[in-house]
Structure 1
Amino acid sequence: MKYSHEKLMEEKVFKDPVHRYIHVRDRVIWDLIGTKEFQRLRRIKQLGTTYLTFHGAEHSRFNHSLGVYEIVRRIVDDVFVNRQEWKQEERLLSLCAALLHDLGHGPFSHSFEKVFNLDHEQFTQQIILGDTEVNAVLKKVAEDFPKKVAEVIAKTYANKLVVSLISSQIDADRMDYLQRDAYFTGVSYGHFDMERILRVMRPREEQVVIKQSGMHAVEDYIMSRYQMYWQVYFHPVTRSAEVILTKILHRAKYLSESGYTFAQEPVHFYSMFNGHVTLADYLKMDEAVMLYYFQCWENEEDAILKDLCSRFANRRLFKYVEFHPSNEQMNKLMELNTLFKKAGIDPEYYLVVDSSSDLPYDFYRPGEEEERLPIHLLKNNGEIRELSRESQIVDAISGKRRTDHKLYFPEDLLRDESTKKIVKRQIRRLLDLPE
């Protein structure tokens, strides 16, 4: 029997709090799960620093990747099966792409990427195409199979229907992380009727469409996503932790470039610091490694690195106030920078503006930087209509980007006895803090 069609002697199942069971019968999928590159995802949290806000948010990219695989498996094995628009030979490719779509995430994901100018999707493709255990498994299917999986993840694969299963405005990726993140954070916002959505999905040449009778379930899904972003993903306390994490990495990089002698040399970071990151270097980095360094750096001589690491490890986070980037507020920020320096507090690390922005749903806007394929409804008469043309709820939020700005700072340092009283008073007045 060809490897691509080989089944396990007995179906394997993973007990899952979101989908109840995750079913694996394909030998290829089971072998991919067992690779060291996929097992590394157990050591990468799905929600980065969110566990410092919602204590239950300890779930991993491993959990999520299995969940996305399971949703796609249900779609291709139950929903799409025997439909003429679906090519059954794309089944295994869809399952592998779903399982491996997050393979290249680094520790603390987006904060890590921003500091070192890295792209987890590029590393996902490198893992799939490089000298890895994952690549060896995929090549057993066919010599060009790793390339096809990488193309699906890069959204360049010719069959856009396959791409849309894991990358669209209503895909398996989003359907899993909304429910999974809601479960582990303990909030109710991310819940929607996924069973209903799966039942009304239909394959078309370019993407999945939704039967008109399922429109209200999709409305609920979009509103769930909107609420999760503002109540969980962009929570100001989580962003405070991300600010500190980012500043730790910036400080360590600066010290390394300045010739500072570390008590605990950042050997795992050197390639990130100099911008020459090999795949082997990248795969050695996980959150356990980073947290080890942070714990060691609490004993460094550099006061800033020592303080920031202590804050992150012991959850002594920055406070925040609302900030609007108007001329008046920017002038206030410049004045605060000057006062922080007078107080002996480096504003580069201790006075930070952080902005979060989200576009909950958008229709197709060709040529724009983030052009998006819309969600299409299949009407009873066979006509296909873009969702916001039929739904007043979705129309109300379509194309409307919401942005939030916060100014983060260490209030405890403003209470420090060593800080000049007159400067402290001026800073607190500008930040609208009580004396």
Structure 2
Amino acid sequence: MKKRNKLKILNDPIYGFITIPNELIFDLLEHKYFQRLRRISQMGLSYLVYPGAHHTRFHHALGCMHLMQKAVRVLRFKGIDISDKEEEALYIAILLHDIGHGPFSHAMEHSIVNEVNHEKISLMFMEKINAEFNGSLTLAIQVFKGEYHRNFLHQLISGQLDMDRLDYLKRDSFYTGVAEGNVNSERLITMLTVINDELVVEEKGIYSVEKFLLARRLMYWQVYLHKTSLVAENLLIRVLQRAKELVDNGVALSASNALSFFLKNKITAENFTTDVLETFARLDDYDIVCAMKEWVYAEDFVLSKLSAMIIDRDLLKVKVKKKAFGNNKKESHIEKFKNKYKISEEEARYFIFDGVISNQAYHLNKQNINILYKSRKIVDIVKATDQFNLEALSKPVTKYFMCYPKHKH
């Protein structure tokens, strides 16, 4: 039998050619759980604001692996010992770090799966694949969980300056066209080194780190927490919640088998078994979009109207401000909407709601970004910088929003 060439090269619009380092990685890429990420959008419903934002978790995972290859080369060049096994574990862990994301990335976690976050699901997928691959992911799973004795390996996967953030900021800024988020990930990686098992940035990389933190803050306000994306995501959560409520009350709704399963069953961390995982693996953005296209014609006013708002991009109005909204404003919107459509207050509350958003670009005392001076002194970026605004970036900024229908006369 002719042996298949598994050392492929992929073309990426951001980094150019990405090489697949070995056959095990190739087999993981080919796995159905990983291929599913092609059908999960990286930025949820942000394409309703930025038409180009149609890239997927699949794109992002490959980009992260590419940056990890660069990080390993840089650290080895600086004399940091990374064994071949550790290198492979890094590639596997970063490749699979997002494999547990549900449709539209975060909306599922708040609606039809109760409090089971994507990190936990990612880990379950990794364990399942590990069993199929005769334990060859064991070290990667240890590194991913932070249980391996060399902490800097975990920091490369999950830290404040990890390959995940370096890729998604650059990638999301590229696909949205928001130039403010474009970080120089290549330079940042070139400035990394390891001291006492901790990842640090050489002194000459300080300005690149400042730019990275600023880019992160701007991307959150301008893209991830953009008020229209915020409305769309909240509407999607409510669509799924309403669908679940109707199914609980015996209403038959058309949906794919996988989606029907999650609408009919209350899934929590306790009963998220491997069978449930198998059903979850069949769920992606297409299930949700197809269902909403049908639900536009549902008899239930709430489900029909919410679905149409997303499908036709006729969203709610949203106001964002620095102070919390008074309750009277919300209640008067509810009263108006209730009377207009002759619906109950409970139904009206699906269309009028408020919430809080918070943005913190840098967390002090949580896997800090440390700068290594030529004198070998190590200082946190906030203290090392002469930029006043970095101190400010480490404090959370909170804003309040309220969504309500456009009152057409």
| Same fold, TM-score > 0.5, yes or no | yes
TM-score of the superposition, structure 1-length normalised? 0.85
Provide, for residues 31-74 of structure 1, a one-character-per-residue CA deviation record: whole Å limited to 9, x for no partner. Answer: 11111111000000000000111000000000000000000011
Contact map agreement 1:210 1:378 (CA 8 A) in 2: yes
| AA in 2 matched with 1:68 | C
| AA in 2 matched with 1:353 | D
Matched residues in 1 for 2:212 and 2:132: separation? 38
Matched residues in 1 for 2:239 and 2:29: separation? 33
**Matching residue of 1:3:** none
Could you tell me how far 1:339 is from its partner in structure 2?
4.0
Contact map agreement 1:10 1:25 (CA 8 A) in 2: no
Aligned residue among 315, 318, 321 for 2:319: 321
Aligned residue among 123, 126, 148 for 1:125: 123
Matched residues in 1 for 2:250 and 2:11: separation? 50
**Matching residue of 1:50:** 46
Aligned residue among 93, 99, 104 for 2:95: 99
**Is the aligned partner of 1:161 residue 2:156?**
no
**Matching residue of 2:26:** 30
Larger radius of gyration: 1
Contact map agreement 2:6 2:23 (CA 8 A) in 1: no
**Matching residue of 1:62:** 58
**Matching residue of 1:397:** 392
Matched residues in 1 for 2:399 and 2:97: separation? 29
Matched residues in 2 for 1:121 and 1:172: separation? 16
Matched residues in 2 for 1:27 and 1:88: separation? 14
SS at match of 1:350: coil
**Matching residue of 2:338:** 341
Matched residues in 1 for 2:78 and 2:191: separation? 15
| AA in 2 matched with 1:186 | G
TM-score of the superposition, structure 2-length normalised? 0.90
**Matching residue of 1:293:** 291
1:36-435 aligned at under 5 Å gives the runs: 36-81=32-77, 83-84=79-80, 86-115=82-111, 116-117=113-114, 118-130=116-128, 132=129, 135-137=131-133, 139=134, 143=135, 145-262=136-253, 264=254, 267-273=257-263, 274-276=265-267, 277=272, 278-323=276-321, 326=324, 329-343=326-340, 344=342, 346-364=347-365, 372-393=366-387, 395-411=390-406, 414-415=407-408
Contact map agreement 2:360 2:397 (CA 8 A) in 1: yes
Provide, for residues 60-119 of structure 1, a one-character-per-residue CA deviation record: whole Å limited to 9, x for no partner. Answer: 000000000000011113433461454454111011111111111100111111112231
Matched residues in 2 for 1:252 and 1:240: separation? 18
Could you tell me how far 1:149 is from its partner in structure 2?
2.2
Contact map agreement 2:6 2:22 (CA 8 A) in 1: no
Matched residues in 2 for 1:226 and 1:415: separation? 35
| AA in 2 matched with 1:51 | Y
Contact map agreement 1:85 1:205 (CA 8 A) in 2: no
Question: Relative to 1, partners in 2 of residues 1:334 and 1:154: Cα closer, same or farther, differing over 3 Å?
Answer: farther
Question: Relative to 1, partners in 2 of residues 1:34 and 1:294: Cα closer, same or farther, differing over 3 Å?
Answer: same
SS at match of 1:189: helix
Contact map agreement 2:183 2:212 (CA 8 A) in 1: yes
Question: Relative to 1, partners in 2 of residues 1:362 and 1:258: Cα closer, same or farther, differing over 3 Å?
Answer: same
Matched residues in 2 for 1:284 and 1:147: separation? 25
Tell me which of the two structures has the higher relative contact order, counting C-alpha pairs closer than 8 angstroms and 6 or more residues apart: 2
| AA in 1 matched with 2:59 | N
Could you tell me how far 1:398 is from its partner in structure 2?
4.3
Matched residues in 2 for 1:119 and 1:381: separation? 43
Question: Relative to 1, partners in 2 of residues 1:261 and 1:199: Cα closer, same or farther, differing over 3 Å?
Answer: closer
SS at match of 2:403: strand
Unaligned runs of 5+ in 1: 1-7, 365-371, 417-435
Unaligned runs of 5+ in 2: none
Matched residues in 1 for 2:316 and 2:125: separation? 37
Could you tell me how far 1:320 is from its partner in structure 2?
1.2
Matched residues in 2 for 1:322 and 1:124: separation? 33
Bigger CA drift: 181-190 or 147-156? 147-156
SS at match of 2:18: strand
SS at match of 2:20: strand
Could you tell me how far 1:26 is from its partner in structure 2?
0.9
Matched residues in 2 for 1:218 and 1:268: separation? 43
| AA in 2 matched with 1:31 | D
**Matching residue of 1:420:** none
Matched residues in 1 for 2:328 and 2:317: separation? 20
Could you tell me how far 1:260 is from its partner in structure 2?
1.5
| AA in 2 matched with 1:333 | K
| AA in 2 matched with 1:300 | A
How many residues align? The count is 392
Bigger CA drift: 46-55 or 338-347? 338-347
Question: Relative to 1, partners in 2 of residues 1:295 and 1:9: Cα closer, same or farther, differing over 3 Å?
Answer: closer
- Superposed CA RMSD in Å reads 2.2
Matched residues in 2 for 1:333 and 1:109: separation? 29
Could you tell me how far 1:226 is from its partner in structure 2?
0.8
Question: Relative to 1, partners in 2 of residues 1:162 and 1:349: Cα closer, same or farther, differing over 3 Å?
Answer: same
Could you tell me how far 1:377 is from its partner in structure 2?
0.7
Question: Relative to 1, partners in 2 of residues 1:299 and 1:77: Cα closer, same or farther, differing over 3 Å?
Answer: same
Question: Relative to 1, partners in 2 of residues 1:215 and 1:324: Cα closer, same or farther, differing over 3 Å?
Answer: closer
